[in-house]
Amino acid sequence: MHTTTLQIHNHNIHTSPQTPQPNVMKTPIRLSSLSRIQPLFKPPLTSTLQSRPFFGLFRRKNLEDSKGVPISVAELLEKQPELPSSTSQATKLRRGDLSSSSIFQKQDDPSLQDHEEDEILPQTPSPLLQKTGKNRIAILKQSGLYPTSPSFMAKYKIRQIKRRGRLTPTLKKLQSEKEHLCQSHNFKTSLKKLGPLARQIAGKPLEHALIQMRYSPKKAAKDVLKHLVQAKNEAILTKNFDPEQTYISQAWVGRGTPDKEAQTRARSRINILVKQFTSISVILKENKTLERLAKEKEDKRLRQKVWVPLANRPIYGQHQYYQW
């Protein structure tokens, strides 16, 4: 039985049988300690670029031509990808194309429509498509989903019925009175400056409010004037308002998103300036609404009882002396 020992001579590792060599120093070492210092056998250098297998799923690729010459990186980049052997694809693959099984494939690609028509079996269209064809409006009318069809309007009216068809007092007022809300864009001003202008025009007729803003010395009055003119035009165009019979029911302001600006100061200091932005909103109504509100206020005053110093009622609990 032969045993194998390792000997170190001139930093080289040799294997020898049991018979020792003359004039050679023997230094037996362990395999475990030697493997930590340097490998026992160095793998030979090959001219092929190999990929590390991942769980044995990928095989090693030999990047050499038929003559055994290694292929350079430039030749690899210029090399075209190999086409699949299956003949199911109608067109050849190009760099950057999507695969046939991709869900992001374009539906309008003419090269794929012919191929899809061959695979899809012919189906008989539904009776609705046979009558109307592919016209969208005809399909909606035939199915009763077009807005002007009687069935659609009937369903729409049924959905609007609440409280068994009884209208609330607010809905009754809206049926006979007009109202228009108009909100402006953000003005470069603050709430403190725009608030007094909103209180100035609230409750006034529209023509009077325009005159007030036209001759106001305030800087923000010009923006408010433009907004009132826009609200007037929108009310006339959309809801057929009469400008002479229109007044401003409500006017309020709202804080917008502020803007910040840097201001350089002495000694490399910077101050942050906050630029305020504010919007204004108005509600336009007709004088008919104003007359109704005045009448309701008068009726409420008349329903109240007349105040008298001594009420005409019997007096109880009268005694000659105090009760405490």
Ordered DSSP codes for 104-157? T--TT-HHHHHHHHHHSPP-PPPHHHHHHTT-HHHHHHHHT-STTSHHHHHHHH
Q: What is the DSSP letter of 95?
A: T
Is residue 277 within 8 A of residue 187, CB to CB? The reply is: yes
User: What pLDDT does residue 13 have?
Assistant: 46
User: What pLDDT does residue 19 have?
Assistant: 52
User: In this predicted structure, which of 135-139, 223-227, 228-232, 253-257 has the lowest mean pLDDT?
Assistant: 135-139
pLDDT band, residue 5 (cuts 50/70/90):
very low
Is residue 219 within 8 A of residue 189, CB to CB? The reply is: yes
User: What pLDDT does residue 49 have?
Assistant: 46
Amino acid at residue number 292: R
- Distance, in Å, from the CA atom of 4 to the CA atom of 29, rounded to the nearest integer, reads 11
User: What pLDDT does residue 317 have?
Assistant: 78
**Tokens coding 257:** 């998103």
Is residue 49 within 8 A of residue 26, CB to CB? The reply is: no
* Helix intervals (H) in 120-253: 127-132, 136-143, 150-160, 169-176, 191-201, 206-214, 221-239
Q: What is the DSSP letter of 47?
A: S
Residue 134 has pLDDT above 50, yes or no: yes
Residue 14 has pLDDT above 50, yes or no: no
> What are the structural domains, with CATH classification, of the chain?
5-37 (no CATH), 177-303 (3.90.470.10)
Whether this prediction's pTM lies above 0.95 is answered by no
Between CA 214 and CA 218, with CA 215 as vertex, the angle to 5 degrees is 95
User: What pLDDT does residue 140 have?
Assistant: 73
